Amino acid sequence: MAETGPETITSSVPGDSSGNRRAHTYSRLTTAIAVLAMATAGYTLVRLDSMRDKLDTANAAVAAADADKELLRAELKSQASRERQAHRDLNRRLDTLNDAPQQLQELASSVEELRGRAEGPERAWSRAEALFLLELAQRRLTLDRDVETAVVALESADLRLASLKDASFAAVRQEIAKELQALRAVQLPDVTGLLSRLSSAEESAADAPVKGVLATQRQAFDRSTLPDGMFARAGAIVAQTFSNLIVVRKVDDLSGRVITAEEAQLQRQHLQLLLFAARTAVARHDEQAYRTALASARRALGEFFDLSKPAAQALLTEVQALEPVNIDPTLPSVTGSINTLRRMVSSRRGPE
């Protein structure tokens, strides 16, 4: 419509060229402005659409953020509620744990009481058994001087007390340890070896050469050696009879007096009895009887037996070697542990 107006004006005044130029210039300017306005309007519309899209996107993001915010707020409220509940539960449990030490102490007391009731008879039996073993060791030492059995009995008693796991028996176990050490230090004689040596000496004494000249009896006729023939046989018998009528032997100080076979046998039997008495004393651990018997055997060997002979000299050497042997060493006492354990048993017998 703007363009129609100038064109009408231009056609109504023909022949005016300057007017035409002005009309054409005005028309182009108007057209450019219109095109520019339309372009600006189009660009503005595009920008408005883009801004509207961005605004919609931003609104959607804000809405999503608001939804997440509400969700987080609800989750925080739930978490705070759970924390408060957990805090209340924790306080309740802590309140319960405050009574735990007392409950544990009561439980420990109950357990100890039950253990004492359950283990009381067994512990009493173990103590009684240990006391019996200690007394057995004392009896074996006193009556039989049996050190080995006493050591075994003391070790067994110590094991019984150790199985109780009670520190109150430390004093008793210390006494047992001292007594075991003292018993192990005892130098025991070789009883089996001594008995064997005395038995061998006793057998040797049966053939020991006795000092002196043995008076022989008249020899009997040996009929098997007589010759044949009456006269030869009669002559042999007469010769043998006259040869046995008188026997002359030289007796000096070394040979001693003349003894009969019965006296020699009696001396040997006496020496055997002395050696047997020494052997019996070893079995009975009788030190005095042992030394007395061997001293008597030594004197008998020197007085009645021919020490120039190797058999008698060897027998004397054996007796002299056996005489200083201590068959009855001093034994320690094991009454300390017995008395200590008896006092403890007597003091505990009442409560149990």
305 forms beta bridges with 210
Rounded CA gap, 202 and 323, in Å?
A: 15
236 and 272 belong to one structural domain: no
Q: pLDDT tens across 12-64, in order?
A: 444 455 555 555 666 788 888 888 888 888 888 888 888 888 888 888 888 88
Across 92-135, where does the E strand assignment appear? none
What tens digit of pLDDT does each residue of 293-324 get? 999 999 999 888 988 889 999 999 999 999 99
The bridge status of strand 258-259 relative to strand 213-214 is parallel
- Residue 161 placed within a domain: yes
Instruction: Give residue 243's pLDDT.
Output: 61
Q: Packing angle between helix 261-284 and helix 287-304, nearest 10 degrees?
A: 160
Q: How sure is the predictor about 7, in pLDDT bands with cuts at 50, 70 and 90?
A: very low
Is there a domain that residue 52 lies in? no
Provide the angle, in degrees to the nearest 10, between the axes of the packed helices 287-304 and 310-322. 160
pTM tops 0.95, yes or no: no
At 260, the pLDDT band (50, 70, 90 cuts) reads confident
In this predicted model, what pLDDT tens digit does every residue of 92-119 receive, in sequence order?
877 777 776 777 777 777 766 666 555 5
Query: Does residue 339 sit within a domain?
Result: yes
d(CA 31, CA 25): 10
Phi then psi dihedrals of residue 214, to 5 deg: -80, 120
Q: How high is the pLDDT of residue 270?
A: 93
How much is the pLDDT for 10? Answer: 44
CA dihedral 304, 308, 309, 315 (to 10 degrees): 60
Same domain, residue pair 193 and 324:
yes
Q: What is the rounded distance in angstroms from the CA atom of residue 265 to the CA atom of residue 271?
A: 10
Could you tell me if 260 and 141 lie in one domain?
no
Q: How confident is the model at residue 201 (pLDDT cuts 50, 70, 90)?
A: very high
My answer on whether 225 and 283 are in the same domain is: no
Do 345 and 128 touch, CB atoms closer than 8 A? yes
pLDDT for position 8:
40
The band of 5, judged by pLDDT with boundaries at 50, 70 and 90, is very low
Question: Is 1 a member of any domain?
Answer: yes
Number of domains in the chain: 4
pLDDT for residue 256 is more than 70: no
In whole angstroms, what is the distance from residue 261 CA to residue 236 CA?
28
Beta partners for 272?
A: none
Q: Is residue 41 included in any domain, yes or no? A: yes
Give me the pLDDT at residue 250, please.
52
Q: Kindly state whether residue 163 falls inside one of the protein's structural domains.
A: yes
**Is the pLDDT confidence value at 253 over 60?**
no
Interhelix angle 191-205/310-322, nearest 10 degrees: 150
Q: What is the rounded radius of gyration, in angstroms, for the C-alpha atoms of the chain?
A: 68
Over 90: is that where the pLDDT of 272 sits?
A: yes
Domain range enclosing 243: 217-250
Instruction: Write out pLDDT tens, residues 142-156.
Output: 888 888 899 999 999
